[in-house]
Amino acid sequence: MRVKWMNVLRFYEYIQPYLKVSKPIEEKPVGKSVLVLSPHIDDDILGAGGTLYKHHLDGDKIVSIYLASLNDKDIRQKEGERAAEIIGIDELIFLDYEIKKLDLSTKEISRQIADLLDRYEPDIVYLPFFLDNHNDHISTNKIFLSSLPLISKPLSISIYAYEIWSTLFPNVLVDITDQIEVKKQAILEYKSQLLANNYLEAIIGLNRYRGILSKANGYAEGFFRSTSDGYSNLWRSIYGT
């Protein structure tokens, strides 16, 4: 999808109420049923692995849904399973759509996501921020927002959008200083991906940056937190649909 750049200034006007000069630190987002939308097998851990581990330690139910995969999906799936076991993710769902082409299957995937929302009734949904610089990440947002009108009953969902390819405008930070070593161990399971790019160094560096510029002082994960209605309004302010 293409950003309607003429609407970007309007977006900044929309986003201001969500932002504060001093970002609040959350010990752990509140919610016992957690659903994670990952465009690819690794996005959940890279973007929110420390926070998800906190959910696990608190006994929360965590389900990760992976939307797309490459030809080496068997290798990546095994890597994802090992990483998820380290973090404590309870259930993994692999939809196996074609990478970089999620936008071609929005209607079909939205129906599947709606069914999963009905099944798990999540309190929290984690997904990449809708301005993240990857088409599959943007499409994941469109798919999720298109799924909401299809669910059988209204849900009160807190959205926590994470950062991967682009830094976002966080309005909440989660201190993961005590969880950072576990997150590192999980990322190291993505051996096929680390051969091409040092995602470990990049993501841990980002978490350190978030920690330094916050009261965490160690490591932190940044999120854009919103209600589902508020998130939908912000999406429309940029994409117009």
Predicted pLDDT of residue 33: 98
Compute CA distances 102 → 29, 46, 112, 140, 182, whole Å.
28, 20, 13, 7, 31
What pLDDT is recorded for position 92? 98
Contacts of 10 (CB under 8 A, 6+ apart): 237
Residues 119, 155: contact at Cβ < 8 Å?
Answer: no
Quote the mean pLDDT of the chain.
Answer: 90
- Low pLDDT (below 70) residues in the chain: 1-22, 71
C-alpha 47/C-alpha 101 separation (Å) is 21
- Residue 228: the pLDDT is 95
Q: In the 8-state DSSP scheme, what is residue 39? A: S
Residue 165 to residues 1, 11, 13, 43, 154, Cα–Cα distance (Å): 16, 20, 24, 10, 31
pLDDT, residue 18, reads 64
- Residue 208 token pair: 């350190």
* Euclidean distance between CA atoms 28 and 58, whole angstroms: 9
Residue-level pLDDT at 13: 61
């005590």: which residue's tokens?
Answer: 178
- pTM comes to 0.91
Note the pLDDT of residue 23.
72
Looking at residue 99, its pLDDT comes to: 85
How many whole angstroms separate alpha carbon 11 and alpha carbon 216? 29
**Alpha-carbon gap, residue 3 to 168, rounded angstroms:** 15
Domains and CATH numbers, the chain: 23-230 (3.40.50.10320)
pLDDT value at residue 224: 94
